[in-house]
Amino acid sequence: MNQVKNIYLKLIPVMIAFFAMGFVDLVGIAANYVKADFNLSDTTANLLPSMVFFWFLIFSVPTGMLMNKIGRRKTVILSLAITVVSLLIPVLNYSFTSMLISFSLLGIGNAIMQVSLNPLLSNLISGDKLASSLTFGQFVKAIASFIAPIIAGWAAFSFGNWRLLYPIFMFIAVLAVILLGIIRIKENDNSQEKFSTFKQCFSLLGNSFVLLSFLGIMCHVGVDVGTNVTAPKILMERLGLTLAEAGYATSIYFLFRTLGCFSGTFILAKISSKKFFALSTLLMLFGMSGLLFAQSEILFYICIALIGFGNSNIFPVIFSQALLHLPNKQNEVSGLMIMGLFGGTVFPILMGIASDALMSQIGAVIVMLVGVVYLISYTVNIKKFN
């Protein structure tokens, strides 16, 4: 009983770190405020979120190597420290240049955090329960994503300063650093090679299951970003709605994605990852297929809700499967899986090409549908770990 209680006490700072992981999503609301404050063009303003997500491609694999040298807990603390600095910059100086630096550091910190925090959780939770725990972590992360625009709006309305969001989030990040610095988590020192190289990390893609999982992460993120970008466009194209009216589609997607993360925490604790993954991908298939033919606003929203709920638990299942497949190479595998988040850049490009070719958003849906079909095929590879 004391051992279980001890694990739960250690889970608290880890979950606070998951909450801090959600700070990366403040870029959406922050970019809009910065655009208005400095009278920027859309092209210039879009540099801000680009400066965040670009770093996942650069820092994911090196972080896996870094964990082999200093450990997972210290790597998470490093990521949180970088996050604290990124949140402090707008408090000390507010200019377009300082915001570019802030967003870059936020992206670097988040890339390092995403790679190291998930494996750290595997030192507390193992086996098939890992997928459920990762899902709960994603739910905690989603809470931060939701409240960021609410806090910014409240601060702007009440105090005329939306940037009060930064010191509030910075306080939470500092708290996470302190708590993780105090606790001790026994890390499984089962790496066959303590100092891995880039070549050794990327050679893991030669393992068929790791490669399939990497592609699965790319498809998951591609569908996630693609739905957010395309859903309002489809409503505007097919039903003639304005952007303000069609924008609710994105809110519905995030709502059901968050509900899916929360419910998935309990469902994955009761049924196998394979069954739940199959159900999730079928929901996505029904939703994506419906977008091809839907002609009413209600039906569109139902389809988007199905995609959001279905896609909410894809990442934790694939990620946990990849980690458990090569337990002696978890740090390197984690880096490769997070690098797969770059799929959020690849898919929109392909979707844009397909939409322009067909002169319809149907092209974008077809590209995402290919990603969903791949995820369905991945189901047969899911294994049971004790």
Question: Are residues 21 and 144 in contact, defined by beta-carbon separation less than 8 angstroms?
Answer: yes
Q: pTM for the whole thing?
A: 0.74
pLDDT given at position 385: 62
Give the tens place of pLDDT for each residue, 147-173.
887 788 888 888 989 999 999 999 999
Give the tens place of pLDDT for each residue, 118-129.
888 888 887 667
Give the tens place of pLDDT for each residue, 227-285.
877 888 888 889 888 766 776 777 788 789 888 988 888 888 788 889 999 999 999 99
pLDDT given at position 172: 96
Report the mean per-residue pLDDT for the chain: 86
Q: Which one has a higher pLDDT value, 151 or 47? A: 151
**How far is it, in rounded angstroms, from Cα 288 to Cα 234?**
12
Q: What percent of the chain has pLDDT over 70?
A: 92
Give the tens place of pLDDT for each residue, 94-105.
999 999 999 899
**How far is it, in rounded angstroms, from Cα 305 to Cα 253?**
6
